[in-house]
Amino acid sequence: MSKTYAEALKWASLLLTKDGIDPDGARYVLMTRADFTPSQLILHRQDLMPETRWQQFQQDVERLRQFEPAQYIVGVAPFFGELFKVTPAVLIPRFETEELVAWVAEEQRTAQTGLDLGTGSGAIGLTLARKLPQTTMTLSDVSPEALAVAKQNAKEQQVAVQFTVSDLFAALPARYDFVVTNLPYIAPEETPVMDQSTLRYEPKLALFAGHHGLAVFEQFVAALPQHLTAGGAAYLEFGYRQEPALRELFAKQLPQAQVTFRRDMADHPRMAKLQF
């Protein structure tokens, strides 16, 4: 027998909370399946759910109970006002990364070329392509499967960009006015304290890096100067405990760069800019 939307959410919340899982995922899948805004969900909270939607919701909650991310269950994730297709081939875009994109968009209004390195779903690069229409954006990823998702998002959003399969800069001989990247930065030894949904379902290639999470940063900074135009800049996201190590790395490997660190909305150091 079907339930009202309010009853369904209460049922899901009790189940998920008992399992130690954030019940917000149930609200997200329900709203996405029904194509509701938050206000519409409130408006329809006492309406009886269609039987097929109630059956689907029960299946979705069972998947949530296995720690599967809500965004993978419904196949989309929000970022900067758009819905991006996501699959387990790509990381789920995080709201914190919107701050990195806003920083780039604010400062790079005259840039002619930009590179989103390790694009995943394309959330960063496609958003910047919309916000910086004068900039020719290139989106690259080492994973062809990830790049296929980014291409689908570009097609659905009708955004024109260039795509390249590349391990960091290996297949990218050009120079760019700016490079933006969210590199893998989680140390394998942090696995015991990680969120189970991330650990079980998101692509490890995009999450983990050796040498205490710094290995990919080290490769990146070694090649970076050869891929920026004169006066170019790079913008990076990193783990909130990595600022001291990155300061040391940047000072040693890129003494010619002016380095700026920024904190995120939770007041954690999470972003850096390297200005050449």
- Indicate if the alpha-carbon torsion angle 201, 205, 211, 217 is positive or negative: negative
Angle between helices 215-223 and 243-253 (to 10 degrees): 30
* Tens-digit pLDDT profile for residues 194-229: 889 999 999 999 999 999 999 999 999 999 999 999
Angle between helices 24-34 and 5-18 (to 10 degrees): 150
* Tens-digit pLDDT profile for residues 65-83: 999 999 999 999 999 999 9
Q: CA 54: distance to chain centroid?
A: 30
Per-residue model confidence (pLDDT) at position 114: 98
Angstrom distance (rounded) from CA 184 to CA 205: 7
Specify binding-site residues for S-adenosyl-L-methionine: 118-122, 141, 182
Per-residue model confidence (pLDDT) at position 193: 82
Per-residue model confidence (pLDDT) at position 263: 96
Q: What is the mean pLDDT of the chain?
A: 97
Specify binding-site residues: 118-122, 141, 182
How do the pLDDT tens digits run along the chain, 276 residues long? 789 999 999 999 999 999 999 999 999 999 999 999 999 999 999 999 999 999 999 999 999 999 999 999 999 999 999 999 999 999 999 999 999 999 999 999 999 999 999 999 999 999 999 999 999 999 999 999 999 999 999 999 999 999 999 999 999 999 999 999 999 999 998 888 888 999 999 999 999 999 999 999 999 999 999 999 999 999 999 999 999 999 999 999 999 999 999 999 999 999 999 999
Give me the phi and psi of 210, to 5 degrees please: -70, -175
* Tens-digit pLDDT profile for residues 167-203: 999 999 999 999 999 999 999 988 888 889 999 999 9
Tell me the whole-structure pTM to 2 decimals: 0.95
